Amino acid sequence: MNRQRLARSRPLTMEELPDVVQIAHGSGGKLTHQLIETLFVPLFDNPCLKALGDQAILDPSTERMALSTDAFVVKPYVFPGGNIGDLAVNGTVNDLLMGGATPAYLTASFILEEGLPTKELAFVAESMAIAAKKAGVQIVAGDTKVVERGAADGLYITTTGVGFVPKGLQWSPAHIRAGDVVIVSGTIGDHGASVLAHRFGIDFESQIQSDTACLREVVMAVRDLPGIRCMRDPTRGGLATTVQELSHTSGLNLRIRETSIVLQEDVRGICEVLGLDALYLANEGKLVAVVAPEEADECLRIMRTVKESKDAAVIGEVTDDIPGFASLETYIGAVRVLDLLSLDQLPRIC
Amino acid sequence: MNRQRLARSRPLTMEELPDVVQIAHGSGGKLTHQLIETLFVPLFDNPCLKALGDQAILDPSTERMALSTDAFVVKPYVFPGGNIGDLAVNGTVNDLLMGGATPAYLTASFILEEGLPTKELAFVAESMAIAAKKAGVQIVAGDTKVVERGAADGLYITTTGVGFVPKGLQWSPAHIRAGDVVIVSGTIGDHGASVLAHRFGIDFESQIQSDTACLREVVMAVRDLPGIRCMRDPTRGGLATTVQELSHTSGLNLRIRETSIVLQEDVRGICEVLGLDALYLANEGKLVAVVAPEEADECLRIMRTVKESKDAAVIGEVTDDIPGFASLETYIGAVRVLDLLSLDQLPRIC
């Protein structure tokens, strides 16, 4: 096995960070991790942040409040199947859900470029209102800033969500065990492929739609199953990055099977045309669940009754073969280690 | 009195909004209000947002949690006395404090421009860590996105804060009564003047320092006084905008006296040189408190014992003369109605 590739978990020193910010620092992959682990975590030192989940769960013994924040800079800000507005609501709501929290409140901060058509802003805000209603959250506070032409790109939105975690529930990659089952809630790569096709003006027979959706119904349907170890939404960096992160945090090996992963035909098409790997394409309405083997069937059965996860499938298992790394069993049966994305396939995907 | 000027509180219809976003939509003044009231509030309809405070206080009967969010786009992002990092921490912490909340947690989302020197980012993040420690808050969640060169201007930061409001405390402009006293915690216009002087390369004998500071100690020192009606931090739009908003929400008249308002010499100088009104310049470490007359002296006495409010002064009173509007008694004794800022004196001040 390639030692250099395995060396990625060593934190860098400040001196080893590149001198300037690069596009790939926003990819959700290796460079993003380096920036966070080397720069932010030591400075903002506290146990919640150190856990590096997509949400912070505060004071688990008493308040059980979950907090999550995300900046959205997707380009273009309207794409087939959605726009930056519903993406910003669904993205943060899903991050709360992945910690087992019931989403309750959102804040929204807008950075608008001078000259943005008011109608476009209204369209985006309407999408947010609809998405918030669907997700069962209230947008309770906000802020609006305007920068000059050229100092932003239409608009950026940061949403922050507050949710509440039921007593006793504590999903965490630390609970993953060898023998656990890896489930994904549907087809992968739809959001990334949709934005990419739209950005580069590539048309297939049917337009690829982003999967942006709220996962509330899925999570609520299975939340009471005690066999659920943890959930993650494979957004920026895609499924590969998520199983790699879960392997790294659990110290085990999530082994996924290429034959079990389902792609829409057009997503497969655009990947072939552009030489992209769907495993690294962003999803905005899917989740990965790691579940105890004795409850995997029941979890799958329930998920398939919910619209957003009707195509849920078991895609792999947890082993202790290659501790701390995810691996892929390819079509031809070979097993290769999955690495964190180190260059950005697709900047500004969310 | 000018009817047109007084007509500003009528909400616009969507059709009456300008077709494109203008710089002044970010000023915190009239156009910002129009955008929020016409576009966001009806869409994100809920009682917390309708209150239009700088923080949302959730479910006052039980959880008493305060939430506040702000985007920071200040240009330049380093200025005398501070930078976008401490500004982003202090600004959101102060918004929580203005609702009487004890600040507890922050999230931070970064939008970075490709090519931003890593050292600059580290400098900003360090300032945030120091400011968070001073303010007694933990930064518990974050997000980092990178956009291409030209698609942002160095970096933008959105912080969201969570705080907890003691049982029984409910500061609100609705509690303001005629006869109440208006206190400001120090000199005004320092932040706006500092950024402006720096941006335009104007040097006075001593460099004007931004007043960016956390108001925690000030608020904690006086929070138990039952005579405090409400507090606001006069940031974007300055003191004039704050007293105008409080007048509007309370339906009373906050009358402030030009002779009681203290400016630093250099702030007065830059206003004279550039024809600006310090009443509309941003402050980032000051508060306005409206206090029952019988407790005003005690509040002032306590505030003057705290470093950040050592120059606190009574600057006016509440009357029922001109319901819903703030007024200024000028040096020569004339009284004029203060209007909301309708053009942006100084874009990207915070």
The 3-state secondary structure of chain A reads CCHHHHHHHCCCCHHHCCCECCHHHHCCCHHHHHHHHHHHHHHCCCHHHHCCCCCEEECCCCCCEEEEEEEECCCCCEECCEEHHHHHHHHHHHHHHHCCCEEEEEEEEEEEECCCEHHHHHHHHHHHHHHHHHHCCEEEEEEEEEECCCCCCCEEEEEEEEEECCCCCCCCHHHCCCCCEEEECCCCCHHHHHHHHHHCCCCCCCCCCCCCCCCHHHHHHHCCCCCEEEEECCCCCHHHHHHHHHHHHHCCEEEEEHHHCCCCHHHHHHHHHHCCCHHHCCCCCCCEEEECHHHHHHHHHHHCCCHHHCCCEEEEEEECCCCCCCEEECCCCCEEECCCCCCCCCCCCC
State yes or no: pLDDT of B24 exceeds 80: no
CB contact under 8 A, B39 and A128: no
Q: What distance in Å separates residue A68's CA from the closest CA in chain B? A: 6
- Residues from chain B that touch A56, judged by Cβ atoms under 8 A, are 105, 107, 140-141
Q: Tokens 């405070």 belong to which residue?
A: B53
pLDDT band at B130; cut points 50, 70, 90: very high
Average pLDDT over residues B135-146: 90
pLDDT in the model for residue A344: 60
Domain boundary among B140, B165, B190: B165
Q: Tokens 């989403």 belong to which residue?
A: A103
* CB contact at 8 A, A278 and A238: yes
Output the pTM of the full model: 0.89
Nearest chain A residue (CA) to B160 = A160
CB contact under 8 A, B56 and A141: yes
Cβ atoms within 10 Å of B305's Cβ, excluding its own: 12
Asked whether residue B257 is assigned to any structural domain, the reply reads: yes
Of B44, B108, B143, the CB nearest to A132: B44
Q: What is the CA radius of gyration of chain A?
A: 19
Residues 6+ apart with CB under 8 A from A334: none
Q: Do residue A192 and residue A304 come from a single domain?
A: yes
pLDDT in the model for residue A3: 33
A23, A31, A44, A68: best to mutate for the B interface, most B CBs within 10 A: A44
Q: Which amino acid would we find at residue B258?
A: E
Indicate which CATH number applies to the domain containing A53. Answer: 3.30.1330.10
Q: DSSP secondary-structure letter at B186?
A: S
pLDDT band at A13; cut points 50, 70, 90: confident
State yes or no: pLDDT of A55 exceeds 80: no
pLDDT in the model for residue A204: 67
Of A110, A140, A347, the CB nearest to B71: A110
Mapped onto helix, strand or coil, the DSSP state of residue B60 is: coil
Q: Do residue B151 and residue B185 come from a single domain?
A: no
Q: What distance in Å separates residue A77's CA from the closest CA in chain B? A: 13
pLDDT in the model for residue A303: 98
Q: Which of A199-208, A325-334, B324-333 bottoms out in mean pLDDT, i.e. has the lowest?
A: A199-208
* Joined tokens for residue A113: 């470029």
Q: Do residue B158 and residue B183 come from a single domain?
A: no
Q: How far apart, in whole angstroms, are the C-alpha atoms of residue B194 and residue B82?
A: 10
* Joined tokens for residue A194: 């949709």
CB contact under 8 A, B19 and A119: yes
State yes or no: pLDDT of A269 exceeds 80: yes
Backbone angles phi, psi at B279, to 5 degrees: -60, -25
pLDDT in the model for residue A342: 60
* CB contact at 8 A, A234 and A242: yes
Domain boundary among B113, B142, B165: B165
Going B103 to B106 to B111 to B115, the CA torsion angle's sign is positive
* Joined tokens for residue A2: 């390639």
> Which of B304, B298, B287, B321 is closest to B329 using CA atoms?
B321
pLDDT in the model for residue B60: 42
> Which of B60, B65, B214 is closest to B137 using CA atoms?
B214
A54, A74, A118: best to mutate for the B interface, most B CBs within 10 A: A118
Nearest chain B residue (CA) to A154 = B151
Q: What distance in Å separates residue B330's CA from the closest CA in chain A? A: 32
Q: How far apart, in whole angstroms, are the C-alpha atoms of residue A211 and residue A193?
A: 10
Q: How far apart, in whole angstroms, are the C-alpha atoms of residue B18 and residue B32?
A: 12
Nearest chain B residue (CA) to A161 = B160
Q: How far apart, in whole angstroms, are the C-alpha atoms of residue B333 and residue B23?
A: 35
pLDDT in the model for residue A4: 35
Asked whether residue B11 is assigned to any structural domain, the reply reads: yes
Buried b (16+ CB within 10 A) or exposed e, B125-139: bebbbebbebbebbb
Q: Which of A88-97, B36-45, B118-127, B275-284 bottoms out in mean pLDDT, i.e. has the lowest?
A: B36-45
Q: What distance in Å separates residue B105's CA from the closest CA in chain A? A: 9
Q: How far apart, in whole angstroms, are the C-alpha atoms of residue A233 and residue A65?
A: 19
pLDDT in the model for residue B3: 33
Residues 6+ apart with CB under 8 A from B77: B83, B84, B120, B124, B154, B155
pLDDT band at B5; cut points 50, 70, 90: very low
Q: What is the pLDDT of residues A283-301, one digit of tens each?
A: 999 999 999 999 999 999 9
Q: Do residue B205 and residue B314 come from a single domain?
A: yes
Q: What distance in Å separates residue A311's CA from the closest CA in chain B? A: 30
Chain pair A-B, CB pairs under 8 angstroms: 274
Q: Do residue B195 and residue B306 come from a single domain?
A: yes
pLDDT in the model for residue B8: 44
Average pLDDT over residues B25-47: 76
Q: Do residue A237 and residue A104 come from a single domain?
A: no
CB contact under 8 A, A118 and B19: yes
Angle between helices A118-135 and A84-98 (to 10 degrees): 30
- Residues from chain B that touch A146, judged by Cβ atoms under 8 A, are 21-27, 347
- Residues from chain A that touch B55, judged by Cβ atoms under 8 A, are 141
State yes or no: pLDDT of A111 exceeds 60: yes
Instruction: Tell me the CB-side half-sphere exposure of residue B85, using CA atoms within 13 A.
Output: 21
State yes or no: pLDDT of A61 exceeds 60: no
What does each C-alpha distance from B288 to B143, B234, B238 come to in angstroms? 33, 7, 11
Question: How many domains does one find in chain A?
Answer: 2
Backbone angles phi, psi at A156, to 5 degrees: -120, 145
CB contact under 8 A, A107 and B144: no
pLDDT in the model for residue A33: 74
Indicate which CATH number applies to the domain containing A222. Answer: 3.90.650.10
Q: What is the pLDDT of residues A125-178, one digit of tens each?
A: 999 999 999 999 998 888 889 898 999 999 999 999 999 988 889 899 999 999
* CB contact at 8 A, B346 and B271: no
Q: Which of A201-205, B69-73, B114-118, B127-131 bottoms out in mean pLDDT, i.e. has the lowest?
A: A201-205
Q: How far apart, in whole angstroms, are the C-alpha atoms of residue A159 and residue A101?
A: 16
Cβ atoms within 10 Å of A189's Cβ, excluding its own: 29
Nearest chain A residue (CA) to B161 = A160
Q: Do residue B198 and residue B75 come from a single domain?
A: no
pLDDT band at B48; cut points 50, 70, 90: low
Asked whether residue A349 is assigned to any structural domain, the reply reads: no
Asked whether residue B80 is assigned to any structural domain, the reply reads: yes
Of B20, B72, B118, the CB nearest to A117: B20
pLDDT band at B152; cut points 50, 70, 90: very high
pLDDT in the model for residue B205: 65
pLDDT band at A259; cut points 50, 70, 90: very high
Average pLDDT over residues B190-215: 88
* Joined tokens for residue A14: 């400040």
Q: What distance in Å separates residue B89's CA from the closest CA in chain A? A: 12
State yes or no: pLDDT of B55 exceeds 80: no
- Residues from chain A that touch B92, judged by Cβ atoms under 8 A, are none
Asked whether residue B350 is assigned to any structural domain, the reply reads: no
Q: What is the pLDDT of residues B60-83, one digit of tens each?
A: 445 578 899 999 999 999 999 999
Nearest chain A residue (CA) to B348 = A147
Angle between helices B118-135 and B84-98 (to 10 degrees): 30
- Residues from chain B that touch A20, judged by Cβ atoms under 8 A, are 114-118
B62, B86, B140: best to mutate for the A interface, most A CBs within 10 A: B140
CB contact under 8 A, A144 and B115: no
Asked whether residue B214 is assigned to any structural domain, the reply reads: yes
Cβ atoms within 10 Å of B105's Cβ, excluding its own: 24
CB contact under 8 A, A21 and B107: no
pLDDT in the model for residue A45: 74
CB contact under 8 A, A71 and B17: no
State yes or no: pLDDT of A48 exceeds 50: yes
CB contact under 8 A, B21 and A151: no
Of A23, A39, A119, the CB nearest to B121: A39
pLDDT in the model for residue B82: 96
Q: How far apart, in whole angstroms, are the C-alpha atoms of residue B325 and residue B338?
A: 7
Q: DSSP secondary-structure letter at B208?
A: P
Q: Do residue B134 and residue B228 come from a single domain?
A: no
Q: Do residue B56 and residue B23 come from a single domain?
A: yes
Share of chain A above pLDDT 70, in %: 89
Q: Which of A269-283, B61-75, B145-159 bottoms out in mean pLDDT, i.e. has the lowest?
A: B61-75
Asked whether residue A348 is assigned to any structural domain, the reply reads: no
Residue with the bigger pLDDT between A277 and A28: it is: A277
Q: How far apart, in whole angstroms, are the C-alpha atoms of residue B340 and residue B279?
A: 11
Asked whether residue B346 is assigned to any structural domain, the reply reads: no
Of A20, A109, A117, the CB nearest to B116: A20
- Residues from chain B that touch A44, judged by Cβ atoms under 8 A, are 108, 125, 128-129, 132, 138-139, 142
CB contact under 8 A, B49 and A141: yes
State yes or no: pLDDT of A26 exceeds 80: no
A110, A145, A348, A349: best to mutate for the B interface, most B CBs within 10 A: A145
Q: Do residue A104 and residue A17 come from a single domain?
A: yes
Domain boundary among B165, B188, B206: B165
Which domain range does residue B226 map to?
173-338
* CB contact at 8 A, A239 and A29: no
- Residues from chain B that touch A160, judged by Cβ atoms under 8 A, are 67, 69, 107, 109, 158, 160
Q: What distance in Å separates residue A128's CA from the closest CA in chain B? A: 8
Q: How far apart, in whole angstroms, are the C-alpha atoms of residue B102 and residue B98?
A: 10
Q: What is the pLDDT of residues B230-247, one digit of tens each?
A: 999 999 889 999 999 999
pLDDT in the model for residue A343: 58
Cβ atoms within 10 Å of A1's Cβ, excluding its own: 9
What does each C-alpha distance from B176 to B218, B219, B323 come to in angstroms? 20, 18, 12
pLDDT in the model for residue A58: 62
Q: Do residue B221 and residue B293 come from a single domain?
A: yes
Q: Do residue B25 and residue B66 come from a single domain?
A: yes
* Joined tokens for residue B2: 């000018």
Model-level ipTM above the cut of 0.85:
yes
